[in-house]
Amino acid sequence: MIVPVILAGGSGTRLWPLSRQSYPKQFLYLVDQQYTMLQLTIKRLENLSNQVLPPIIVCNENHRFIVAEQLRQINIEQASIILEPCAKNTAPAITLAALKAQELYPDQNVSLLVLSSDHHIADVSSFQDSILLAEQQAKLQNLVVFGVTPTEPNTGYGYIELGEKIRDANIYKLTKFVEKPDLKKAEYYVSSKNFLWNSGMFMFQTSLFLQELKQYQYEIYQCCLNAWQHKTKDLDFIRIGFQEFQKIPEYSIDYAIMEKTTQGIVVGLDVGWNDLGSWSSLWQSNPKDENQNVIFGDIIAEQSQRNYIYSSSRLVTVLGVEDLIVVETKDAVLIAHQDKSQEIKKVVGQLQNKQRNELIQHREIIRPWGKYDCIDVGERYQVKRITVNAKAKLSLQLHHHRAEHWVVVKGTAKVTKGEGLYYVSENESTFIPLGTVHSLENPGCIPLELIEIQSGSYLGEDDIIRLKDEYGRI
């Protein structure tokens, strides 16, 4: 049986301004308007359902409610969600997942299928065939890496050098991993037809992975084991021991094991794979109109060709432009030439130096109970549009520096205010004085929408004193 291990801890800054630290690309609708990248990663295994066990997701603890909600949307109810307190690269993340699989299936030597949560695969059927090939090799006590047939001499990917071909299948002995090359080396790798792109996807049996880890990186194994033994349960999440986890060396699985093992196997992929690591790769992976433009949102494109144009909240028009990336969000706009899409890190670097909040989060903020959008802000006031999911409830809280006025525009609010409890319906309002203990709940079956007007000397989110919370945030 196969246990999908989905690594969902990336920050995705190369797709800024759409991808932010608090809401990175794996949670966005980048190639499908119905499913996010994380959801697509899980759904492309559906036809293998009789051989696939519930997934193990490894993610940043700050993204836990986003992951849980996106799994709920596609009816995944038995997933294990492991929270990393900080990023430690792929080897520790996979080790934690292996320890969880060992705990879940102590009498079965299951195969771990390690997938990134933000990759695009066009030919899902061929990918599933490759998974079954890889599982056969994993059962033969091999560590499998999936290698992608190059379509160009790309300098943004690592490469895998192939060894002896195994039978007639698209399976090879692993010779070595090669770091991201310069253009001259990349051209040689592609022309030689003896190198594949390193996809960052793997398959191996739990016992063999842990055995090889003990042999080549015993410190990682022992530190991960210590952190795992100090884990705690937080709602449906698994929190790893923080102090123990901080001591883990920060290594990739490539460096930690795959470059050292003598049991490495490469399964070749020719499935329309793309890691969506840049805006130009998104242009390549999405359907185009008659002028080769990729368009999302309210767009008018006149006399313009080969552009990627994205609008999240307003009309965007372009006239007489070619090969551009135009991305509009509620609080930022990016305009870049496609040839420069790999250099977005320079913009991100400036945002970091200036400590701009636009690098960290969107104007619209996701919470476990719903979301809010800050639609206006002044020196002593702030206006938010708040959406509370059906049956959801905000924490019981108070503020030391601000009062709040709520106006319900859709649904019915159940309000706790001091010792009182009452309902506020559409076109009605209520006032929460500064320092008053209060809570907001949606008792209905449709989303509750309201406008909140905050006023006071300080309006920061850290002026929330939680007294009781259903989501463990006290």
User: Which residues are within 8 A (CB) of 10 and not within 5 positions of it... i.e. 6 or more apart?
Assistant: 24, 25, 26, 116, 117, 118
Question: Which residues are CB-neighbours of 464 under 8 A, at least 6 positions away?
Answer: 395, 397, 399
Name the pairing type of β-strands 308-311 and 294-296. parallel
Tens of pLDDT along the chain (474 residues)? 999 999 999 877 889 999 999 999 999 999 998 999 999 999 999 988 788 999 999 999 999 999 999 999 999 989 999 999 888 999 999 999 999 999 999 888 899 999 999 999 999 999 999 999 999 999 999 999 999 999 899 888 899 999 999 877 789 999 999 888 889 999 999 999 899 999 999 999 999 999 999 999 999 999 999 999 999 998 889 999 999 999 999 999 999 999 999 999 999 999 999 999 889 999 999 999 999 999 999 999 999 999 999 999 999 999 999 999 999 999 999 999 999 988 899 999 999 999 999 999 999 999 999 999 999 999 999 999 999 999 999 999 999 999 999 999 999 999 999 999 999 999 999 999 999 999 999 999 999 999 999 999 999 989 999 999 988 877
Q: Reduce the DSSP state of residue 243 to 3 states and report it.
A: helix
**Residue 258 to residue 176: CA distance in whole angstroms:** 8
Using DSSP, state whether 72 is helix, strand or coil: helix
Beta carbons of 217 and 261 less than 8 angstroms apart: no
Show me where the domains of the chain are located.
2-274, 291-353, 364-468
Q: Which amino acid is at 278?
A: S
Domain at 364-468, CATH homologous superfamily: Jelly Rolls (2.60.120.10)
Chosen CATH of 2-274 out of 1.10.3720.10, 3.40.190.10, 3.90.550.10, 3.50.50.60: 3.90.550.10
* Angstrom distance (rounded) from CA 205 to CA 138: 6
Q: How far is 448 from 467, CA to CA, in rounded Å?
A: 23
Give the position of tokens 């801890």.
9
Q: What is the pTM of this model?
A: 0.90
CA torsion 381-386-391-393 (nearest 10°) is -30
Rg of the chain, C-alpha, whole Å:
24
Longest dimension (CA), the chain: 76
Distance CA 248, CA 5 (A): 20
